Structures are given as C-alpha cells and as structure tokens.
Amino acid sequence: MTRRYDLPLIKDALSQFQYALTAILTVLLLWAVTAFFLAKDQANIWTQGLDNTLTIEVPAINDNGEVIETEQHTEHKEQTLALLHRKGYISSITEIKEEELKQLVAPWLGDGDFEKIVPYPAFIRITLKSSDKSNINDLENALEEISETIKLRSHKEWMGQLLSLTNTAMLIASIAIALLFFVIGISIAFAVKARMEMLKGDVEILHLMGAPASYIAKQFQRQTFLTGMRGSFVGFFIGFVSALIVIKFIMPGSVEGLHIAYLDTVRIVILAALPITISFLSAIIARVTAFRIMMRLP
C-alpha cells in the first residue's frame, strides 16, 4: 500500500451501523431481485406452450339452454374431429374421454348418471404447430360452419388475469429495488455526515494546512467504500442463501406449479453486480457528501 490515510478507519458504532444497515438492505435487495426473476419466469411459463394449446367444446346444450339431440351432438363431434384431422396446422388432437370428464366433475356432482339430465359436452384438446393468428381464425370459421354452438377456447384468455398478477408482482419488485437503492444512498450520506461531524477538528486542521477537498473526501470515501463492501457482500451471501432455501425447500411444496427461478449467466452477473454496485455507490455518495460539507468551510 503506497497511499496513507490521515483520518482513522475506526470501527465505531457508526461504521457498525452502516455495515449492518448495508447488509440488511442488500439482503432485501437480493430478495426483491429474486422476486422479480420469479415473477418473470412464472409469466414466461404461463405464456409459453399454452399459447399453442386450445380446447374445443362441443356443447350438448344450445345457447338457449335446450338439450341438443344426441344424434346431432354426436354428428357435431364427428364432423369436428374430421375437420381437425384435415387441418395441417394442428399437431395433436386429444379427445377428452367421458370417463375422464366424469372424474373431473365427480367432486361436484357425485358419480350418478347425471348425463341423463344434463348431457356432458365433448371436449377436444388440440395443439397448433404455431400460434399463427390466421390459423386460429380459419379454425374458428370452419367450426362455425358445423355449428354455431361449438366454442374454441384459447388458454390465453383466462391467462390474462394471471399475467396481470405477475406483472403487478414485477412492478412491485421493481419499485422495491429502486426504493432500496434510495435508502442505501440516504443512509450512507448520513453516515458520512455524522462521521465528518465526529472528526470535525481533524478535518479542519487538514483544511487549514491546505488539503484540497478531494484529499479529505478521499479519506471518507475509503472508509465508506470498505464498510459498504463488507456489508453488501455479507448481505449478498445471506440473501442468496436464504432466497435459495425459500425457493428450493419451502415454496414448491406450498404453491403448486410454481417454478424455481433459474439462473443463467446474465442473472448471475446481475446478482453479482449488486454488492459491487453498492460498494461503489457508497464511495461516490461519500465523496459527494464530503465535498458538500467541505464547501462550507471558509
């Protein structure tokens, strides 16, 4: 080390406060970023794959609530299946079996022969080769020719609500991230102010000896940088480990279908950049604050 420092690198209550606060805020920051990633992944999972999956409902009741003749219903179904097989843009066709349907509705209706009273509609699940809008339009028109009662349901419709949920989560996470950076900045500025107040006499002596503001600011910058670095790396470690534990062991069990945020290189870089950013942010804020205070000396 060639550079020497005149002001003490004290491990006083103040630097411990800055250290602890930085660590805690870094943990929160890491959680907020993880939450953002999670919400984004969930949105992707919900939109991916489901885009191309559609369900066709051939109802047994027409729009006026009257039961359609069984022969006619069967005919609608046969015609629909034949139509689907003709269309080249459909990659898979799965007819949902009546037993399957019965099982699905059993919890609500019991296992009586309710189809005598309310016949079951037929459901056909299909997957498109691509989510081309023109294919969907074509299919809709073709189905309408068979019967106006047949409905094509895209999963995207009801997905919309879930997506607005994840979008809200992402927005909240972003606001939390911005707020946390702001709070980190404010707390550092006050720590530097308080430290300069404590070392007022020493600062004044250096000033009277003709030390430029940059010379004095550098000394506070170093202390603040080191404290900020220690705090943010400890916070990073705690935050990372705790986020992993929560995601891996607690969340999947309690929330069905929620997926683990995956970490690619970009995300690892973003996460690793957090403590580094906080360290340098600390140094910059310390410098600016020190300069501002120095400017008040004669």
Partner 1 sequence: MIKFEHVGLRYGIGPEVLKDVSFELSAGSFHFLTGPSGAGKTSLMRLMYLGKKPTRGLINIFGQNINSASRKVLTQSRQKIGTVFQDFRLIQHLNAFDNIALPLRIKGQNEKEIKSNVDELMHWVGLEDCAKALPSTLSGGQQQRVAIARAIIAKPKLLLADEPTGNLDERIGHRLMTLFEKLNQMGTTIVIATHSESIMETYKHPRMILSNHTLHISDSASPYNSSEGAL
Our finding on whether 107 is near partner 1 (CB under 8 A) is no
In whole angstroms, how close is the CB of 202 to partner 1 at the nearest point? 5
Closest by CA to 51, choosing from 130, 151, 161, is 130
Distance, CA of 208 to CA of 199 (rounded, Å): 14
Give the span between the Cα atoms of 138 and 123, in whole angstroms.
19
Closer to partner 1 by Cβ: residue 219 or 227? 219
- Told to check if 11 binds partner 1 by CB under 8 A, we report no
Question: What is the C-alpha end-to-end distance of the chain, expressed in Å?
Answer: 33
Out of 82, 178, 205, 268, the residue judged to bind partner 1 by CB under 8 A = 205
Of the candidate spans 71-79, 204-212, 228-236, 239-247, the one that interacts with partner 1 by CB under 8 A turns out to be: 204-212
Q: Return the number of the residue (13 or 209) whose C-beta is nearest partner 1.
A: 209
Cα torsion for 270, 276, 277, 281, to the nearest 10°?
170
Q: How far lies 94's CA from each of 50, 86, 90, 283, in Å?
A: 15, 15, 11, 62
Whether the CA torsion 250, 251, 256, 261 is positive or negative: it is: negative
Does 4 sit near partner 1 (CB under 8 A)? yes
Query: Residue 153 is inside which H or E element, if any?
Result: strand 151-154
Q: Is 51 in the site for partner 1 (CB under 8 A)?
A: no
Residue 192 beta carbon to partner 1: minimum distance, rounded to whole angstroms: 18
Kindly state whether residue 193 participates in binding partner 1, applying the rule CB under 8 A. Answer: no
Which one of residues 202, 237, 280, 288 is an interface residue with partner 1 (CB under 8 A)?
A: 202
Binding residues for partner 1, total number by CB under 8 A: 19
Q: Which is nearer to partner 1, 206 or 274 (CB)?
A: 206
Binding pattern for the stretch 59-98 against partner 1, x by CB under 8 A and - elsewhere = ----------------------------------------
The verdict on 6 binding partner 1 (CB under 8 A) reads yes
Distance (Å, whole) CA 91 – CA 211:
77
Is the CB of residue 170 less than 8 Å from the CB of residue 39?
yes
Selected binder of partner 1 within 8, 49, 112, 252 (CB under 8 A): 8
Q: Which residue among 88, 107, 110, 298 contacts partner 1 (CB under 8 A)?
A: 298
| Distance, C-alpha 101 to centroid of its chain | 35
Q: Among 40, 193, 207, 222, which residue sits at the site for partner 1 (rule: CB under 8 A)?
A: 207
Q: Which among 33-41, 90-98, 121-129, 211-219 is the span making contact with partner 1, rule CB under 8 A?
A: 211-219
Q: How many residues does the chain have?
A: 298
Identify the residue among 88, 201, 253, 257 touching partner 1 (CB under 8 A): 201
How far is C-alpha 167 from the chain's CA centre?
8
Look up tokens 């005149």; give the residue. 6
Read off the amino acid at residue 264: D
Burial of residue 30 (CB within 10 Å: 0-12, 13-18, 19+) is buried
Binding site for partner 1 (CB under 8 A): 2, 4, 6, 8, 201-202, 204-213, 215, 295, 298
